[in-house]
Amino acid sequence: LEKLFETLKEKIISNRLKNGFDIDENIINKEVHQTLAKLVADFNEKQIEFLISDDDTINILCGSVRSGKTWVSCFKFGLRVINSDKDSKFMMVAPTLKSLESNCFKYFRMFFGNNFTYSLSNKKAILYGHEIRLEGAPNERADTKINA
């Protein structure tokens, strides 16, 4: 958890610097503590291990229904976005845009609050100033949407 705290703190400080916000240690610590308090109460040991492991290009999570795969992957994806360069490109894909909204965005709002916004009609989300392209791709014939 200490590594997770420090990682989250670094990402918040980095984002505040990028966006011209003040670096007030008390505000940052409060924001980190609030975020971690939401997480730690519900994350299990495997989820925490996944969060602090090195990022890979592809991560495959397996487990039973409602075991927390979506929950933990949304948070880790969010951290990766926050820590990226402004010109980095990100995309979230699901069978439909509505399924992204119902399955993922509630977690982004819970974790990142008002620092996460989205528009299904514009097919984009913003997380701490970083743009994330959104796409619905119900089957393999939709690969042109993803590869565009």
pLDDT(1) > 70: no
pLDDT tens for residues 69-96? Answer: 888 888 888 888 887 887 889 999 999 9
Better pLDDT: 49 or 145: 49
Both structure tokens of 91: 């995309």
| pLDDT tens-place string over residues 31-67 | 777 777 766 667 777 887 777 776 666 777 787 787 7
Q: Which of 131, 124, 77 is nearest to 101 (CA)?
A: 124
Tokens of 21: 């916000």
Chain-centroid distance of CA 15 in Å reads 14
**C-beta of residue 48 within 8 angstroms of C-beta of residue 1:** yes
The pLDDT, as a whole number, for residue 47 is: 80
- What is the token pair recorded at 118? 């989205």
